[in-house]
Amino acid sequence: MLDIKFLRSNPEAVKENIRKKFQEQKLPLVDEVIALDKEFRNAKLEGDRLRAERKAKSKLIGGLMAKGNKEEAEKTKAEVTALNEALVALETKETEVQQKIREIMLIIPNMIDESVPIGKDDSENVELERFGEPFVPDFEVPYHVDIMEKLKGIDLDAARKTSGNGFYYLCGDIARLHSSILSYARDFMINRGFTYYIPPFMIRSEVVTGVMSFDEMSDMMYKIEGEDLYLIGTSEHSMIGRFIDTILPEEELPYTLTSYSPCFRKEVGAHGIEERGVYRIHQFEKQEMIVVCKPEESMQWFETLWKNSVDFFRSLDIPVRTLECCSGDLADLKVKSLDVEAWSPRQKKYFEVGSCSNLGDAQARRLGIRVKRKEDGTKYLAHTLNNTVVAPPRMLIAFLENNLNADGSVRIPVALRPYMGGMEVIPVK
């Protein structure tokens, strides 16, 4: 959410930013919120004038009564009563207008960084760099579910009976591999100085609207009927939400956190749910990294976060590339975003396995996350960032394809072997 003062002073810059995001339908909102802001400030000025007048008249009443001028005192009391009624009506109007302003400000997109490439959708994202050599073996790489089934590691049919499409049972060595990757990711981030968390898996609506846009919310979140609770789509929601209405000592920044959680998503939209596969599903697990920092440090942390993901995947012998998200592919709260994509030997192309985002002060403004400056005690909004460490079972697709042997068995990279009980290969059953 933008600062109303910034929008008031820079309406054309805000409109140009909306055009860069190809959301022309939102252009009238800028003028609408400026008009409402003027109405709110005028009402506030009038309220201040009425309160001052009420105070002055209230003081007169005692003096008039003391002088025995009861008639004049009663007349002044009536005037004070009228002022009170006018103030109640004015304060109600102030509240209503302020609420309208907030509702519109939540829809107007955040200002993107000047380095973001301009493009309409994800087809115009820009490749930045490749890490590791993409490799295609001299044997056919089966579909990931076929690989898992040959290893007796997945049961989609039973999951359809219990839960429907978009769910799965993992079992045996594949289930162990899934848990091992998460455990390795946890320790990988702890060794890089991040504090490990397991957060709540449900959050209240005020946190949901603080961490994401309305479009994302309706397409992603599951609502708990009869309660003000939502199932999280990523642990970022809980982890940023834990700072709601908090004043952070500047000397404690940055907060570098890594969190595990299950994630629940509707997956509403063009992609939908896979009938047979684990790439796009309703339920998965994830290791996330979150940073809360000073504004001047957020771009430096952005670079650090995505490099952590690249290093993690390379430690498991998986080639990856980084992709800069263009303006039209950025969610409304994001200042800058970069996807990490893993190589698929079967498809002979890269696919997304993680996303690194700098949200500037947007989440902090919505949630009231402020920092108290050490020198003079003044306060400013923090910057927040998040990035995926790993999200199996999607990551399992890349892992299995890149470590598959010709006989259908799967190599275990050295870094992961301690988590697999020393196992070097997952054999075909």
What are phi and psi for residue 213, nearest 5 degrees?
A: -80, 160
Catalytic residue among 54, 186, 265, 370: 265
Catalytic residue among 355, 357, 365, 401: 355
Contact between 22 and 328 under an 8 Å Cβ cutoff? The reply is: yes
Side-by-side strand order, sheet with 379-381: 246-249, 369-372, 379-381
How crowded is residue 267: how many other Cβ atoms within 10 Å of its Cβ?
15
Strands 320-324, 336-344: pairing kind: antiparallel
- Residue 352 annotated to the active site: yes
What is the total residue count of the chain?
Answer: 429
Report d(CA 201, CA 367) in Å as an integer: 18
Q: Write the single-letter amino acid at 132.
A: G
Catalytic residue (choose from 352, 373, 411, 417): 352
- Amino acid, res. 30: V
Tokens of 392: 């199996």
Half-sphere exposure of 405 (CA within 13 A, CB side): 13
The alpha carbon torsion through 371, 377, 378, 380 (nearest 10 deg) reads -10
Residue partners of 348: CB distance under 8 A and separation at least 6: 136
53 is catalytic: no
- Among the options 337, 394, 401, 409, which is catalytic? 394
411 flagged as catalytic: no
Q: What 3-state class would DSSP assign to 125?
A: coil
Find where tokens 């997109």 sit: 109
- Of 8, 280, 373, 411, the active-site residue reads 280
Coil, helix or strand for 10?
coil
Residue 249, both tokens: 């000592």
Give the DSSP letter string of 97-115: HHHHHHHHHTTSPPPPPTT
The Cα–Cα gap between 429 and 425 comes to 12
The alpha carbon torsion through 401, 188, 259, 144 (nearest 10 deg) reads 10
User: Which residues are known to be catalytic?
Assistant: 265, 280, 352, 355, 394
